[in-house]
Amino acid sequence: MKRLLSYLKPHKTVMTAATLLVLLIIAVELYRPIIIGDAIDDYINGYYTPYTVTEAGTPGAVRYGDIYLTKNFDGAENSDNRTDVPDGAVISDSPAASSGNSGARFYQLFLCEERYYMAENLTAEESAALLDADNDALAAFIETSGAAPLAREQLKELRRTDFTGILIAAALYLAMLLAGFALNAADTWMLQKMGQQIIFTMREEVFSHIHSLSLSFFNTTPVGKLVTRVSNDTEAVNELFTTILVKLFKNIVKIIGYAVVMLSINVRMALCSFVLLPLVTGLTFFFRYMSRKAYQLTRTRITELNTFLSEHISGMKLIQIFAREKEKYQEFAGKSEALFAANWREVMTFAIFRPTIYLVSVLAMILIIGTGSASVLSGTLSLGTLFIFIAYISSFFEPIQELAEQFGTLQSSLASAEKIFSILDEQPEIVSPAAPRAVEIRGRIEFRHVWFAYEKEDYILKDVSFVIEPGWRVAFVGATGAGKSSILNLIGRYYDIQKGEILIDGVNIKDIDTDVLRGAIGQVQQDVFLFTGDIKSNITLRNEAISLEEVKRAAQIVHADSFIEKMPQGYDAPVTERGSTLSAGQRQLLSFARTLAYNPAILVLDEATANIDTETESMITSALEKLMEGRTTIMVAHRLSTIQHADNIIVMHQGRIRESGTHQELLAQNGLYKNLYDLQLVDA
């Protein structure tokens, strides 16, 4: 987590702003039920409040016959029902509404059988008794007092300020809704943008780091696994920055906010709301444990499936050649079923947890409604306060549920981050020296007692020493596994040797910057790899320093222009993945053109003409004669006819140099080379 949070450092301002927005959003959400609760107590349920006589023109005064009345929030004895005075309410200063109840007379609006009546000239005790009276008592009071039901116009006049208050409360509630929408939209926009920027940086970092790793890493790591790290796992981490961190903070603050507000309104009701919290806490911890296991299993199964797909789609031709489609489908079905089971386990974990928390919230709601209703009927709680608690309790368990689910998603993000960091923690075996030596590479290559093994001490090369002078054409021959291709890999320092030294123009290659070293070596391999794009981009590899004229010149030298110019779009002709629409010979010619376009000082040809027919090979041979002038050329070839004019031929056998010399000198030695040559003559 600490390592992940380090990606937030460039975005501290955004995170601070998002945090402030979250606090404002929570304040808005907490205030909305209070608006409605106050409206219920102050305006909708207005007949609970006594009136006192006042003068015309007094703020909040309403006309009743020939007198003017205003609400008196301190008049009745049962003041527990009415402890909060709405903004703008004015308590009358008239003698009839003196601060003490002694001698004060009240008018009381009350409801009986769905009709409104006005009780006149009541004492404080009579007003309080009227508020607590049941329907039968109210009916008896109407009969004895001779109170008549109020006309519709009278009622509208008496409750004129209530209607206005309700409109103001509705406008304020709408304003809070709009404010919440605007704040949420701004917060989401900021977090999503920040999250995408972080994931963009992380994805580039992972891809760049993969490029820096040595070839030995790719020999042991499946491609599908790397694809999953760069794509799926970075997207999983994206949830952490765009959603989880802020929502975790938001829900924790929201839970605390609900608790504090409920305790400040009514401690008894708040404690009733918290009775089921221990059960919710236990369920949450259990869910966290189960969801973590489910997430980890799902991520592992996704990686396995991606690895299988990457490998088998690349080898589809081989599968079809040997008609193994049905067997491979069964293998895929097994891995797909394993992923299905992991996903199902994850889904069922949520499917059980969410309804359980919902059931607990319903139980809490029942408890609040039962307790609160009894308190309202006994006169110790206002109806508006009960509404506030009902609204809060319905929202109180929502952040708790989200918190548990977010902890699960957090575990998924951390699991993905762990896999990403496992790639970033891989250190390249081949690194450029901290202070590389400047060298002008002309092409002198020297091996001094070189020992090399891919695995531990299983040596492929054993005490190999030779010198290649600038401009020489040197060929390596020998049986498969003799170490020929290993020598080519070591010259470009794709692997490091265990013993000895390799020097280029008198400088140890470990002291040369790897980009400089490899930039001076042009290598053509037997298995040509082409990228999706066009002809030009596959020759230049998108190197802007290579002009179109240089591309065409390189193609002309190797006679690749003979088929390129026949294409409808020429050098802009599209190339599909791996160049599947081109023949093997055409792909090889493009590989030659690519190498020549970079104008290397050293040419390395690893079975470069193996996939080219005899006619095409004859065209390339003449072109290579001109190309190799002034360049050191190293060749590996099984067909000895292609290397007969080399300046030196080195014969490898079981990792050691057994013979070296020109073609004629080696034939005269009547050794390994002569045997290889005779075998090829027999095969021919």
Domains and CATH numbers, the chain: 40-165 (no CATH), 213-424 (1.20.1560.10), 445-683 (3.40.50.300)
Q: What is the mean pLDDT of residues 170-182?
A: 95
Over 60: is that where the pLDDT of 84 sits? no
How confident is the model at residue 682, as a pLDDT?
A: 60
pLDDT band, very low/low/confident/very high, at 648 (cuts 50, 70, 90): very high
How confident is the model at residue 98, as a pLDDT?
A: 35
Over 60: is that where the pLDDT of 86 sits? no
Of 443 and 623, more confident? 443
Q: What is the mean pLDDT of residues 579-599?
A: 82
110-139 pLDDT per residue, tens: 888 888 888 888 888 888 788 778 888 888
How confident is the model at residue 468, as a pLDDT?
A: 94
Task: Please enumerate in sequence order all residues whose Cβ is within 8 A of that of 360, keeping only pairs 6 or more positions apart, or say none.
Answer: 276, 279, 280, 283, 397
d(CA 521, CA 515): 10
How confident is the model at residue 623, as a pLDDT?
A: 62
Q: What is the mean pLDDT of residues 284-307?
A: 80
Of 544 and 624, more confident? 544
Structure tokens at 623: 């072109």
As a three-state string, the secondary structure of 249-288 is: HHHHHHHHHHHHHHHHHCHHHHHHHCCCHHHHHHHHHHHH
Q: What are phi and psi of 441, to 5 degrees?
A: -75, 115
Over 80: is that where the pLDDT of 304 sits? yes
Strand-pair partners of 506? none
42-72 pLDDT per residue, tens: 888 766 678 888 888 888 788 888 888 888 7
How confident is the model at residue 619, as a pLDDT?
A: 65
DSSP reduced 3-state for 483:
coil
419-470 pLDDT per residue, tens: 889 889 988 888 888 888 988 888 899 999 999 998 878 899 999 999 999 9
pLDDT band, very low/low/confident/very high, at 89 (cuts 50, 70, 90): very low
d(CA 440, CA 462): 29
pLDDT band, very low/low/confident/very high, at 608 (cuts 50, 70, 90): low
Residues 650-667 as b/e (b if ≥16 CB within 10 A, e otherwise) read bbbbebebebbbebeebe
Averaged confidence pLDDT in the chain: 83
How confident is the model at residue 616, as a pLDDT?
A: 64
How confident is the model at residue 92, as a pLDDT?
A: 32
How confident is the model at residue 464, as a pLDDT?
A: 94
How confident is the model at residue 6, as a pLDDT?
A: 87
Of 56 and 78, more confident? 56
Using CA atoms, how far residue 191 sits from 3, 9, 403, in Å, is 19, 14, 18
Task: Quickly count: other Cβ atoms within 10 Å of residue 113's Cβ.
Answer: 10
pLDDT band, very low/low/confident/very high, at 249 (cuts 50, 70, 90): confident
Percent of the chain's residues with pLDDT above 70: 91
Over 60: is that where the pLDDT of 526 sits? yes
Q: What is the mean pLDDT of residues 238-252?
A: 82
pLDDT band, very low/low/confident/very high, at 85 (cuts 50, 70, 90): very low
Q: What is the mean pLDDT of residues 632-639?
A: 85
How confident is the model at residue 620, as a pLDDT?
A: 66
Structure tokens at 675: 């045997």
Are the CB atoms for 78 and 376 separated by under 8 Å? no
Structure tokens at 512: 């040369």
pLDDT band, very low/low/confident/very high, at 100 (cuts 50, 70, 90): very low
Over 70: is that where the pLDDT of 677 sits? yes
d(CA 484, CA 476): 6
How confident is the model at residue 465, as a pLDDT?
A: 94
Q: What is the mean pLDDT of residues 574-601?
A: 83
Which of 151-155, 321-325, 383-387, 660-664 is modeled with the greatest confidence?
660-664
How confident is the model at residue 82, as a pLDDT?
A: 37
Q: Which pairs count as long-range contacts for 247-250, CB under 8 Å and 24+ apart, including other chains?
A: 247/402, 247/406, 248/403, 248/406, 248/407, 248/410, 249/19, 249/22, 250/22, 250/25, 250/26, 250/399
Over 50: is that where the pLDDT of 102 sits? no
193-243 pLDDT per residue, tens: 888 888 888 889 998 898 888 887 887 787 778 888 888 788 888 888 877
How confident is the model at residue 236, as a pLDDT?
A: 80
Are the CB atoms for 465 and 448 separated by under 8 Å? yes
